[in-house]
Amino acid sequence: MPKTLIHSDKAPVTGFTDKSRPSPLAQAIRAGDFIFVSGQGPLDPVTREVVSEDIAVQTRQVLGNIQAVLEAGGATMAQVVNMRVSLRNTSDFPAFNEAFRDFMAGEKVTRTCVAASPHRTGVLVEIDCVAWLG
């Protein structure tokens, strides 16, 4: 089964360490009935800069970026079955979780949330996900 690359101009391309060179990553890949979305950070799609120092603002941006990539692949947040979250600071969890709850508007997913250090300075949260199209 071939894989299909998914791209949205409404979300940033991530995975770069040098903005002058293309990213080695796809925003998402469809394989069969699944879409695998690469880890999204709180980056503005145009400037590729971190949108804010506030965890709630960053969380909404990350989820908005994921939503844009999913839409480019013909999916919605309602089709997400799993998310993995990396938080730079565990003390941000309550504010992150509240922003996540608000954005998801009652939609349920499975989720793992771990303390980690995203590779980019200023990034407080990164999320990847898997959506099922079946």
CATH of the domain at 14: 3.30.1330.40
Domain span at residue 46 reads 3-132
Q: What is the pLDDT of residue 115?
A: 95
* 3-class SS letters over 41-104: CCECCCCCCECCCCHHHHHHHHHHHHHHHHHHCCCCHHHEEEEEEEECCHHHHHHHHHHHHHHH
pLDDT in tens, 97-115: 999 999 999 999 999 999 9
Q: What is the pLDDT of residue 20?
A: 77
Better-scored residue on pLDDT, 36 or 15: 36
The total number of structural domains that make up the chain: 1
Q: What is the mean pLDDT of the chain?
A: 94
Q: What is the pTM of this model?
A: 0.95
